[in-house]
Structure 1
């Protein structure tokens, strides 16, 4: 493996763990701050996503004046400070400020990762790298939530030592990532004027809605498990990791799945998410719940990889950082809005606890979107071909 590929994959370790690592600790953090509502405590997961939006857009502008390697250095320093120190803040506002630094750092590095892939790789190799970076980021998120739950079993603050990996990635990246991208545009002035593609704007909106619906599985899975009886403790400990494992598998096999399914990739992924949500809502057995979480992870993994690949290619010969940052912003806004969306939903009396109703709604929405996408795929002969640029 060449050094720049290793550096890009190392950076990918950090993108998802900024939020997922903290998810198993929400109830313990809430107990440490009894004066703070549970919805506000969830900001420790969602606030970084909000900051990712603004700093992702900033990254899209900074590439015009400083190198991508310099932007990565700034982002990784912010991530290192906020990630480790957030566990030792005595006040909740101080904790949130430091978690905000994590979001700022992640926002700077995330679009750079995908734009570096667009700079260095083309065609199937580009699709492979998009899938690999997605898989690596989610593989890390398979490991860190149960590790955080273990380290933070007695004191949730100890779990934040996991973020000590960030300074190590910083050193590795600074040593092995080249200072200048391979693809240097001769018409740099025209490149700066290139507008964000319409397709990127469309996918940013899709990403926003998709994350609003999906992210309840990250924030509220422990509360759903509490409503069920006879469920193995393994589900509580490894449920989120099972979902993330599904996303990892989807990332590793993305280009092969995409080539085989073509126009059926979108409806298949949406229906997999819908099936998964319905399984975990109504099932009373541990195996089926874990199976549902695996389905959700695989479905969302294919959808996110597809969105990122098409976004990177939509920029054409222009730098893709701004387009990727916009789509990442869509994902992040959706993540931030999700808890408030579900908390303020009008209730339909179905005899279900509120959390079960919310998971049921997510399953119905994904399934409905899958059916619509399936009908569109059936009615058209156009194939969603793998870009070769």
Structure 2
């Protein structure tokens, strides 16, 4: 394996830790709810165990973005990988729900460091078509990692809800690879006071907001599908993990094909198609009373989300000034995981009034409106539409 392949493979491994950080323990949620049933508001707090890392990622990503623009990437990355392994695996040893929440918060801090770094490194190492292809490959690899980790999490949950937490020790294998194969790029903005006044295009804020909405809606799947499947009679945790893994598998296929999709569609049209596929998937969930229909829903939802994530990342990489690239990618990461954290908080009051099936139906209507909105926006643009320039 030559030097370039080792670099790419290491970047992909670091990327896989991101999606693993949140969804690995998803199949264990029903068991955890029973285990902590004596704790007040256990049902809600257990869902926070899944999503609390996302809040901490949202908080620490912009801080990391500032630091890596000023001081470099790799030392912060190495620290984050060590913290990831320790805090992630800590859940195996903890019996107090509140202590468990603290360990998940620390895990979020670790990912809040590693994720903006790895996205920034991709922008540092690659340019043009090579960057476009690698961004699609990165999201696909993250999804494939999600399949492996959540599938393994489902299997381990059948032995007990604590066992999936041991999967986080995988970071200890990635750490030495990052030390050996990732070079420190020249940090363009280091010690440059002018960069404090450099501003990125306002479009990035719109892309960040859209990213948050995407994740608020998509995260209904890992948070609510385990409970929905239990409600329709699916008891095996391995089958629950497999269902969510299938969503991730089709997300991987869609992301891997992003470069080819981008040859035929503008960025705005890709968002429209992605939301339309997710809407179709959510409708299938809302009417499902069989495992096979849920599987179809996972396929459709995964295909939609898989094309939208690299679409967003590429757009931000393209328009963010190199001098403040880490800061802008940190901002995007913040909204990415803020959406994941807010998802159960926003949906919880809806679930007190509606069933899980009705909630997915309501969400599908909103997704359809988003799809139509992006299509109208695309049609409203006069002249040649080229993404990701001024409007996509």
| Deviations, residues 147-178 of structure 1 (Å, cap 9, x unaligned) | 11212212221222211210110111011111
1:68 to 61, 68, 73: 73
1:25 to 22, 25, 28: 28
Aligned length: 382
Q: 2:372 corresponds to which residue?
A: 371
2:206 to 177, 192, 202: 202
1:94-109 counterparts in 2 under 5 A? 94-109=99-114
1:315-326 counterparts in 2 under 5 A? 315-326=320-331
| Deviations, residues 6-63 of structure 1 (Å, cap 9, x unaligned) | 2211211101000010111111112221123211111111100000012111101211
The 8 Å contact of residues 259 and 385 in structure 1, kept in 2 or not, is answered as no
Cα distance in 2 for residues equivalent to 1:237 and 1:162: 14
The 8 Å contact of residues 207 and 331 in structure 1, kept in 2 or not, is answered as yes
The 8 Å contact of residues 244 and 297 in structure 1, kept in 2 or not, is answered as yes
Cα distance in 1 for residues equivalent to 2:139 and 2:17: 11
Structure 1, 89-98 or 270-279: larger mean CA deviation: 89-98
Q: 2:357 corresponds to which residue?
A: 356
C-alpha change, 1:31 and 1:130, in structure 2 (3 Å) is same
In the TM superposition, residue 231 of structure 1 has moved relative to its aligned partner by 9.9
Q: 1:115 corresponds to which residue?
A: 120
Cα distance in 1 for residues equivalent to 2:291 and 2:322: 49
Tell me the secondary structure at the aligned position of residue 385 of structure 1.
coil
C-alpha change, 1:135 and 1:154, in structure 2 (3 Å) is same
Does residue 80 (structure 1) correspond to residue 82 (structure 2)? The answer is: no
Q: TM-score under structure 1 normalisation?
A: 0.92
The 8 Å contact of residues 264 and 377 in structure 1, kept in 2 or not, is answered as yes
Q: 1:147 corresponds to which residue?
A: 152
Does residue 343 (structure 1) correspond to residue 354 (structure 2)? The answer is: no
RMSD between aligned residues: 2.2
Tell me the secondary structure at the aligned position of residue 350 of structure 2.
coil
Q: 2:8 corresponds to which residue?
A: 5
Q: 2:43 corresponds to which residue?
A: 38
The 8 Å contact of residues 69 and 187 in structure 2, kept in 1 or not, is answered as no
C-alpha change, 1:121 and 1:230, in structure 2 (3 Å) is closer
C-alpha change, 1:347 and 1:13, in structure 2 (3 Å) is closer
In the TM superposition, residue 249 of structure 1 has moved relative to its aligned partner by 0.7
Cα distance in 1 for residues equivalent to 2:228 and 2:215: 18
Q: Which runs of 5+ in 2 are unaligned?
A: none
C-alpha change, 1:384 and 1:287, in structure 2 (3 Å) is farther
Tell me the secondary structure at the aligned position of residue 18 of structure 2.
coil
Cα distance in 2 for residues equivalent to 1:186 and 1:341: 39
Tell me the secondary structure at the aligned position of residue 63 of structure 1.
helix
